[in-house]
Each structure stands twice: as C-alpha cells, then as structure tokens.
Structure 1
Amino acid sequence: MTTQDERLGEVTEVADGVQVRFRRSWPDPIGDVWSALTDPDRTARWFGSYDGERRVGGAGTLTMTHEEGATGEPMQIVECDPPHRLVVRWESEQAWRIELDLAEEQGRTVLVFTQVFPAGTDAGDYVLGWHWYLDKLGAEVTGAPGPGGWETFLAATAPAYGRPTP
C-alpha cells in the first residue's frame, strides 16, 4: 500500500536551481504507464492535450485540460526513448523542462518525475500541482479513484508541504 508520505515530492536546491522530484510506482506494466504518459486520449484525461509533431525535436501546443481558462502553450519534445524516457520543454510561466523516467523494479513500474526551476523559486505551489497531476496519472494507470477536485486535494495535502490550507 502507498502512503501519502511516499507520494510526496521532494524539493531540493541543486547547482542550477530548485529541483522538484517525485517517485511513483505501480504494479502495471511499463508499456501501460508509458501509454498513460503519451497516448493522446489518455493524457487528456489526467493532464492535457498535445497537438503537434510526435518525434524528437517535434513542436506543438499543450493545453492543460484541467485548468480553468487554459490556453495552448508551446511545447517541444526534447528526448523520447520509449518506454523509458520522455523529456519535454514547455513554455509556460517560464521555460520548463520536464523529465519523465520509467524503469521496472521488483515487478513494478517506477516513474521518476523531475523539474528544475531557476534558483530562488518558491516551488511550493508547483510541487502541490504536480502532486495532484501525478495522483491523476496514477488513477489513469490503475483505474482507481483520482484525487478529487483541486480544493479538496489542497485542503488534504497542502499541510504535508508546509503550505496553508484554503
């Protein structure tokens, strides 16, 4: 059984900024988790839709499907090594590089999510957001219930990151 604490992201200062890292795992096959990360129908259910070229160097537009008033933002596929590694560069509030690494360990598929923000960034809100989205990914992979609405999730999870509840 996975506990809340095992699902928490880690925020650490690194040489080039502030790193947010999550480690999640599921008993599902690596191909299924990869599909949940890359199949357009599945990604739209937990995160967003990508309209563009699906190849290394390919560019397109990402629209987050669970954000009120979200508009499409430029995204580029930097690396893609199915079913083990996907790296994207996403032009949101700033230039974001998101790294998704999958491996099989002891009969489970492990995802390591990594994002580095510029030095001095208060990553508290970002880590909460990614936690919520990764919980939604887990629901997509396993078929279990998701984290619920944002406000409910925030009230339950924000204290674990030292953030005030709404």
Structure 2
Amino acid sequence: MTAPDERLGEVTEVADGVRLQFRRSWPDPVEDVWAALTEPDRLLRWIGSYEGERRVGGSGTFTMTHEEQPVGEPMRIVECDAPRRLVVEWDTEEGWRVQLDLTEEDGRTVLLFTQLFAAGTEVTDYVLGWHWYLDKFAAEVSGGTPPGHWDAFYAELGPAYGRQPG
C-alpha cells in the first residue's frame, strides 16, 4: 500500500507471512516517546491498560480500553531494552507479536512498529486499527489532537487502504 500520507502502514509479503510496518517520528526525546509507550497513565490515554509483571518474560492482561467492547487478553513481554525496544505477544489464537523499536535520526525519535501475520491473512482491518491507535499515540507524545471517532477516521483513511466507507 503506498500513498503520499507518510503515516500509512506498509504491508509486505515476506517468507514467513505478511508484515505490517508503520514508521512515525517526533522531535521529542527517545525517553519521552518510550514513556508514552510504557508508563501506565500514558498508555491508558492512547491504547489501554496492562496489569501484570513488567519484566522480560513477565505476563499479564492487556485491555485495549478504546474498543467498543474492551476485553482483557493475556500478554507476555518477550523483549525489553528500555528505551529502545519492546516486543510483546498476545496469547491469542492468532498469536499476535508486536515489535516497537525506537531510534534517533536527525534529531527526531523514530518509532518502527512491526507486526507479522500468518501467510494469507487479510490485514487491512488490522492496519486501519493500528493506524488509528498510532495516531492516538502521536497525540499523546506531542500533545496534539487525537483522531476523532472511529467512523470519521474510517471515512477519511479507509480509501487509502482500499476500504470504502459505508
């Protein structure tokens, strides 16, 4: 998927499945971006809550509280190299694994969000969902305005991902 909007996710077929990546950046220090990813009060404002062990190998329950029907899902922290890398896995049927890598480039903190799906997975709805959450994350980092209601967001960005509102 390509479009002039640099916020769009990129979906690539790879040997072991389908890879989704988003690349976002901010002028904020890496420590502040990391804090928005991991501190409970900031995490709650953009995506949800995590109740459990906060260490590599630790497990707990992650709830995406901005969903229509929030449901706690088992999650495990696979890797954590603060403030540079966090890898988590949801213990679901799909076996979600999300990698969040922070680097500094030209005075900006860059977030590379990566999720790998099984081969043949239709990922468009996941891409749209993560795009919405990452826009909420950007507002948390920068103090900007978060995206509006899902329906308005979908109407605006759905076509960029091949989805028509309606």
TM-score (norm 1): 0.96
Shift of 1:159: 0.4
Which residue pairs with 1:78 in the alignment? 78
Q: Where in structure 1 are there 5+ consecutive unaligned residues?
A: none
Q: Distance in 2 between matches of 1:25 and 1:122?
A: 27
**Structure 2: 5+ residue runs without aligned partners?**
none
**Shift in Å at residue 70 of structure 1?**
1.5
| Structure 2 partner of 1:150 | 150
Give the equivalent residue in structure 1 for 2:23.
23
1:34-113 to 2 correspondences below 5 Å? 34-92=34-92, 94-113=94-113
Q: SS of the counterpart of 1:79?
A: strand
- CA spacing shift, 1:164–1:59, aligned 2, 3 Å: same
Q: 1:92 Cα deviation (Å)?
A: 3.9
**Percent of residue pairs identical:** 68
CA distance in 1, matches of 2:93, 2:44: 21
Q: In structure 2, what is the Cα distance between the partners aligned to 1:89 and 1:139? A: 25
- TM-score, length of structure 2 as denominator length: 0.96
Give the length in aligned residue pairs: 164
- Determine the C-alpha separation between the residues in 1 that align with 2:137 and 2:4: 15
CA distance in 1, matches of 2:152, 2:158: 10
Give 2:132's aligned residue.
132
The two structures, once aligned, show a CA RMSD in angstroms of: 1.2
What is the deviation of 1:163? 1.1
